[in-house]
Amino acid sequence: MCGRFVATAPPSELADYFQAVLSETAKVEESSPSYNVAPTNHVSSVRANDGHRELETMKWGLVPSWAKDPKIGSKMINARAETAATKPAFRSAIKKRRCLIPADGFYEWHKIEGQKVKQPYYITRADGEPIVFAGLWEAWKPKDDPEHDWTISCTLLTTGPNAEMKTIHHRMPVLIPPAQWDRWLDPANGVDEIEDLLVPGPDGLLSLTPVTTMVNNVRNKGAELIEPAP
């Protein structure tokens, strides 16, 4: 799974990078760099809207449209690529509501024999380019309160590991390369037309750096979290 990541770029910079229009929410959303983005935090996400890319602010942890309680989102931070098209929580979103979620990098933990505490790793692209996760999004509001604001939420898709990730974990996020952004976002493309993207990133794409266990505490948000461990 992917349970923490790093996002430091402001929405305006991300909009330029993705050639996207800022949504009204993203324009007013206060955004500060976070080196420890955690579930239920708000994140920047790119989706398709009337033929163009739109940068929107979403809550990490997908709340299905049929949910009775939005708290279910805390259990929906990841969706398995192999089963998303058949799971009730994700099958509608993977058909119609796909998104891109940018990050500087992400964290994963590795169990080391003889140690009680898992070793955290900070994982980035080896070429220095941003990580772009494959995501799904949903809009939710309580059925008995039509005046309630919409909750826009998202989840990250995961798949099996590539060569680098296999050394520390059995899963990795699905990553979408720039040449495939439009194909992934276009709701006109059915699941069978994008399923070839639901694969591990190519070997050699990622760089893994062991970091300190300060990242284990979600209250820690500073740049020291990505410094290499002694």
pLDDT in tens, 65-122: 999 999 999 999 999 999 999 999 999 999 999 999 999 999 999 998 888 899 999 9
pLDDT at res. 30: 59
Give dist(CA 28, CA 10) in Å, integer.
12
pLDDT at res. 149: 87
pLDDT at res. 89: 96
Cβ distance 39 to 77 under 8 Å?
yes
Give dist(CA 50, CA 79) in Å, integer.
26
Taking only the tens place, the pLDDT of each residue in 37-75 is 999 999 999 999 998 999 999 999 999 999 999 999 999
CATH number of the domain residue 27 falls in: 3.90.1680.10
Range of the domain at 164: 5-226
170's CB contacts (< 8 A; 6+ apart) are 160, 161
**Residue 221 corresponds to which tokens in the numbers above?**
């948000």
Taking only the tens place, the pLDDT of each residue in 165-191 is 999 999 999 999 999 999 999 999 999
* Res 221 pLDDT > 80: yes
**Residue 208 corresponds to which tokens in the numbers above?**
């893994």
pLDDT at res. 145: 77
| Across 192-205, average pLDDT | 97
Cβ distance 161 to 172 under 8 Å?
yes
pTM: 0.95
| Across 201-217, average pLDDT | 97
108 is annotated as an active-site residue:
yes
Give dist(CA 182, CA 201) in Å, integer.
18
Long-range contacts of 106-111 (CB under 8 A, 24+ apart): 106/2, 106/4, 106/5, 106/6, 106/131, 106/133, 106/173, 107/3, 107/4, 107/5, 107/6, 107/211, 107/215, 108/2, 108/165, 108/168, 108/169, 108/172, 109/168, 109/169, 110/167, 110/168, 110/169
Cβ distance 154 to 99 under 8 Å?
yes
pLDDT category at 29 given cuts 50, 70, 90 is low
pLDDT at res. 31: 66
Cβ distance 59 to 151 under 8 Å?
yes
| Across 155-164, average pLDDT | 98
pLDDT at res. 147: 75
pLDDT at res. 25: 82
Q: Report the mean per-residue pLDDT for the chain.
A: 95
Q: Which residues pair with 139 in a beta bridge?
A: 152
C-alpha 137 chain-centroid distance: 10
Give dist(CA 74, CA 162) in Å, integer.
27
Instruction: Report the Cα–Cα distance between both ends of the chain, in Å, rounded.
Output: 26
Active-site residue identified among 54, 56, 108, 164: 108
State the number of CA atoms in the 13 A half-sphere of 72 facing the CB: 14
**Residue 27 corresponds to which tokens in the numbers above?**
């324009």
pLDDT at res. 28: 63
| Across 19-40, average pLDDT | 85
Number of domains in the chain: 1
